[in-house]
Copies of this chain bind each other. A is one copy, B any other.
Amino acid sequence: MDYRAILEGVQTGNMSIDQGLQALRKLGADELGYATLDHHRALRRGFPEVVYCEGKTPEQSAQILIRLAETGEGPVLGTRAGREVFDLVRRTHPSFEYEELSRMVFLRRGIGSPKGQVLVIAAGTSDLPVANEAVLTLELMGARVEQMIDVGVAGLHRLLGQLDRLYQARVLVVVAGMEGALPSVVAGLVDQPVIAVPTSVGYGSHLGGLTPLLSMLNSCSSGVGVVNIDNGFGAGYLAAMINRMGE
């Protein structure tokens, strides 16, 4: 049950004022003992709360996801979720899906037809898990998404042969590990916003992704916003917000 449903319930008389207040209070902060769910967020931010499953027990993660599925009407999303979270969730809710590479548990619901156009570019095959996280997030937030894989700067013609696809996107998410040069090159070619995602793919002085992160923050091309290492979700979320503006 969400905000609109409560108002409609009160409007139609199916719900008393006191029942409405009770329901509203629960939506604002739903305490599970180990978590305080922020159902208000969907209203405030236009997308429901997302569950970051790392550092939670599988049981905690699963219970929060189920609670979100039962109290809302839109999509539900859990990131960095082990398969055991999925296994727990789908016992109760068989409509949940799981994507192996990006380790996401999600429920496609109430999304509507995809809007706008976002292009998610991955420099290499090893960046796929992070790129997938961005793609799925975008889809759940209602964006039309395309992907372009393995077009790193070591072989520029792979990218340059597909310039039209770059021009057609409203916003681009560029995922890269190693030296993280791809967002700089892409941003130099287009005049749309570029969201850069460094990945932890590399070794030695790669420093777990700090090298491409720093590289992207120092891009000599303008128009680049950076998110945390491996944060495909964050990039997808931000890109979806921007993509929505083009409506």
- Which of A83-91, A105-113, A157-165 lies on the face that meets chain B? A157-165
The verdict on A209 contacting chain B, using a C-beta distance below 8 Å, is: yes
A214 close to B (CB within 8 Å): yes
Query: What's the nearest-Cβ distance from chain B to residue A131, in Å?
Result: 10
Please tell me if A102 contacts chain B, counting CB pairs below 8 Å.
Answer: no
Please tell me which one of the listed residues B198, B203, B241 contacts residue A54 in the complex, with CB atoms under 8 A apart.
Answer: B203
Q: Which residues of B sit under 8 angstroms from A209, Cβ to Cβ?
A: 204-205
List residues of chain A with CB under 8 Å of any chain B CB: 3-4, 7-8, 10-11, 13, 17, 20-21, 24-26, 28-36, 38-47, 49-50, 52, 54-56, 60, 64, 80, 123-128, 149-158, 160-161, 163, 170-171, 177-181, 184-185, 187-193, 195, 198, 200-231, 233-234, 237-238, 241-242, 245-246
**Residues of chain B lying within 8 A (CB to CB) of residue A42:** 191
Task: Tell me, in angstroms, the Cα distance from A29 to B42 when the chains sit together.
Answer: 14
Cβ of A157 and Cβ of B35 under 8 Å apart?
yes
Q: Is B204's CB under 8 angstroms from A35's CB? A: no
Q: CB < 8 Å: which of B40, B56, B187, B198 contacts A157?
A: B40
Within the assembled complex, what's the spacing in Å between the Cα atoms of A158 and B27? 11
Do residues B241 and A229 form an inter-chain contact, with CB atoms below 8 A?
A: no
Chain B residues positioned under 8 Å from A212 (CB to CB): 215, 218
Taking the closest CB of chain B, its distance from the CB of A211, in whole angstroms, is 4
With both beta carbons as reference points, the residue of chain B lying nearest to A33 in the complex is identified as: B160
Which of B160, B170, B246 makes the CB contact (< 8 A) with A35?
B160
Q: Which of B13, B20, B28 contacts A44 (CB 8 A)?
A: B28
> Which residues of B have CB within 8 Å of A3?
21, 24-25
A62 to B170, CA, bound (A): 35
Contact A202 B223 (CB under 8 A): no
A53 to chain B, nearest CB (A): 9
Are B149 and A45 in touch, CB under 8 angstroms? no
Q: Could you tell me the distance in whole angstroms from the C-beta of A100 to the nearest C-beta in chain B?
A: 10
Do A41 and B205 contact each other (CB < 8 Å), given the known contacts A33-B149, A125-B35, A241-B191? no
Residues B179 and A184 in contact, CB atoms below 8 Å apart: yes
B221 touches A238 (CB 8 A): no
Closest to A7 in B: B20
- Bound CA–CA A186/B130 (angstroms): 26
Closest B residue to A148 using CB positions: B36
